[in-house]
Amino acid sequence: MEPLAVGEAVKRVIVALDPARRGDVDRLLDMAKQVCGVGAGIKVGLPMLALGGSEALAEAARLCKGGGLRVLDLKLADIGYIMRLAAESLSRGFDAAIAHAFVGYEGGLVELKKALEDLGARLVLVVSMSHPGSGEVLDPCLDKLLAVARRVEPWGVVAPATRPEVVARVRETLPTTVIMSPGVGAQGGRPGDAICLGGADYEIVGRMVASSPDPVSALRGVAEYIAARCPEKLLHSSTGNGPS
Ligand code: BMP
């Protein structure tokens, strides 16, 4: 039997399924089925939409039903009306959808949040990103982006596993908001950096798991690493709002 902390850690890892070519779509949909019952859930976005169409998005959501969080990552950034149209046509079957905080509240995120609520989905806002370029515009504006998030009151926010100190700042400002952190593995973040050092609820892992010949073992490997680093953080969710 796996130790308790590993069982908890695996429920904190969301797998990003991003096909690089059309031939990857079916493999990743099959992977959705495999990893969903094991990890926290899946995230799909523009690569899946571009290469597999809206049917592939819907299929990913269907295959993962009952097996964890299904996050639609289109990183919406438009006027509220357009974001609502996109949400209405693409986010059915998903539990949460990601948009950029920089769009702002009035005429923007307030409309998207309402549209998602009507569809039974939750809003997640990007307040900082995992790539170095986040330091050019987003991070100097972090306080403003967090102020937008405080006003919108999304269910979750995205903050970078590659910079756990940013995650910690986000956690301090938004103590009860779910934090999802990408950037683990392929982008250099170590499993556990965001959860153990920053207080994130979930780490998002893409290629490190999805490129593995045995994705379920790779997912468990990530969880073991997290569990070894901070078992105490896993037994009590920081927000009481995290994995259920
Ligand atoms: P990978 O682990 O293969 O680098 O994938 C990371 C995933 O997280 C991708 O789906 C990407 O869109 C997403 N992501 C990110 O890498 N950085 C961010 O700041 C926000 C993201 O959503």
Q: What is the pLDDT of residues 165-214, one digit of tens each?
A: 999 999 999 999 999 999 999 999 999 999 999 999 999 999 999 999 99
Question: What is the CA(13)–ligand 1 centre distance, in A?
Answer: 13
CATH of the domain at 143: 3.20.20.70
Residue nearest to atom 15 of ligand 1 (CA): 182
Question: What is the CA(84)–ligand 1 centre distance, in A?
Answer: 23
The answer to whether position 238 is within a domain reads no
Task: Find, among 178, 104, 176, the residue nearest to 147 by Cα.
Answer: 104
The answer to whether position 187 is within a domain reads yes
The answer to whether position 22 is within a domain reads yes
pLDDT score, position 235: 76
Q: Can you say which residues are annotated as belonging to the binding site for substrate?
A: 18, 43, 73-82, 130, 182-192, 206-207
Average pLDDT of span 55-72: 96
Q: In which residue are the tokens 């153990």 written? A: 196
Task: Find, among 205, 142, 141, 187, the residue nearest to 12 by Cα.
Answer: 205
Contact partners, residue 185, CB within 8 Å, separation at least 6: 191, 205, 206, 207, 208, 209, 222
Catalytic residue selected from 11, 24, 73, 113: 73
Cβ–ligand 1 contact at 8 (below 6 Å): no
Domain that holds residue 68: 3-233
Looking at the CA of residue 128, tell me the nearest atom of ligand 1.
19
Amino acid 126 reads V
CB-neighbour burial class of residue 214 (10 A; exposed 0-12, middle 13-18, buried 19+): exposed
pLDDT above 60: residue 1: no
Cβ–ligand 1 contact at 130 (below 6 Å): yes
User: Each residue of 112-133: pLDDT tens digit?
Assistant: 999 999 999 999 999 999 999 9
Cβ–ligand 1 contact at 216 (below 6 Å): no
The answer to whether position 192 is within a domain reads yes
Mean per-residue pLDDT of the chain: 95
- Counting residues of the chain whose pLDDT is more than 90, the rounded percentage is 92
Cβ–ligand 1 contact at 156 (below 6 Å): no
Catalytic site includes residue 143: no
The answer to whether position 244 is within a domain reads no
Q: What's 40's DSSP letter? A: S
pLDDT above 50: residue 242: no
Q: What's 111's DSSP letter? A: H
The answer to whether position 125 is within a domain reads yes
Catalytic site includes residue 78: yes
* pLDDT band at 4; cut points 50, 70, 90: confident
Written as one string, the DSSP assignment of 160-186 is -TT-HHHHHHHHHH-TTSEEEEE-BST
Question: What is the CA(1)–ligand 1 centre distance, in A?
Answer: 32
How far are the Cα atoms of 162, 183, 190, 204, 205 from residue 186, in angstroms, in the given order? 10, 7, 9, 11, 8
As a whole number of angstroms, the distance between CA 12 and CA 10 comes to 5
The answer to whether position 242 is within a domain reads no
The answer to whether position 240 is within a domain reads no
CA 22 to chain centre: 23
As a whole number of angstroms, the distance between CA 39 and CA 13 comes to 6
- Look up residue 198 and give its two tokens: 């920053």
- Name the domain count of the chain: 1
